[in-house]
Amino acid sequence: MDEELVRKVVNRLHRLIGHANKVDEMITGKRHPAEVLNQLLAVEGALYKLIYEQYDILVRLYIHERVNVLVIKQPHLAEELEQLHEQAFQLPLKKLPKLLYRLREIENQKQ
C-alpha cells in the first residue's frame, strides 16, 4: 500500500511541476494574460490535489500509529482497534473524524 500512495503523490507532484513549468514558458513567451491565468488555475488545482492527498495519507498513518500503540496499552480492546485500523484504510477521508474521535475516547479510557 505504501508504494501505491507514494506513486500517487509523486504523479501529482510531477503534474504540478509540469503546470508550473508551462506558466514559466507562457510568461517568458509573452502569452496573453488570460492564457497564463488559465494555466495558473491548473497549477492551483494540481496543488490542491497534492495537498489533499498528503493530508489523507497523514491522517491514515496517524491512525495506524495510534492503533499500534493502543493495542499494546489496552490489549483487551485489540479486536475493536483492529476494526478501526481496517476502516481507516477503507473509509473516505470525510468519514475519518468519527474514527479519530473513537480513538481519542479509547485513549482516555481507564485501563
- Residue 10: the pLDDT is 86
In the chain, the number of structural domains is: 1
- Whose CA is closest to 8, among 62, 60, 64? 60
Q: What is the 3-class SS of the chain, one letter each residue?
A: CHHHHHHHHHHHHHHHHHHHHHHHHHHHCCCCHHHHHHHHHHHHHHHHHHHHHHHHHHHHHHHHHHHHHHHHHCHHHHHHHHHHHHHHCCCCHHHHHHHHHHHHHHHHCCC
- Degrees, nearest 5: CA angle 81-64-83: 30
Q: What is the CATH number of the domain that holds 36?
A: 1.20.58
Rounded Cα–Cα distance for residues 72 and 58 (Å): 22
Domain that holds residue 40: 2-108
Q: In this model, does residue 3 exceed pLDDT 90?
A: no
pLDDT tens-digit readout, 56-96: 887 888 888 899 999 998 899 899 999 999 998 898 888 88
Enter the pTM of the model.
Answer: 0.56
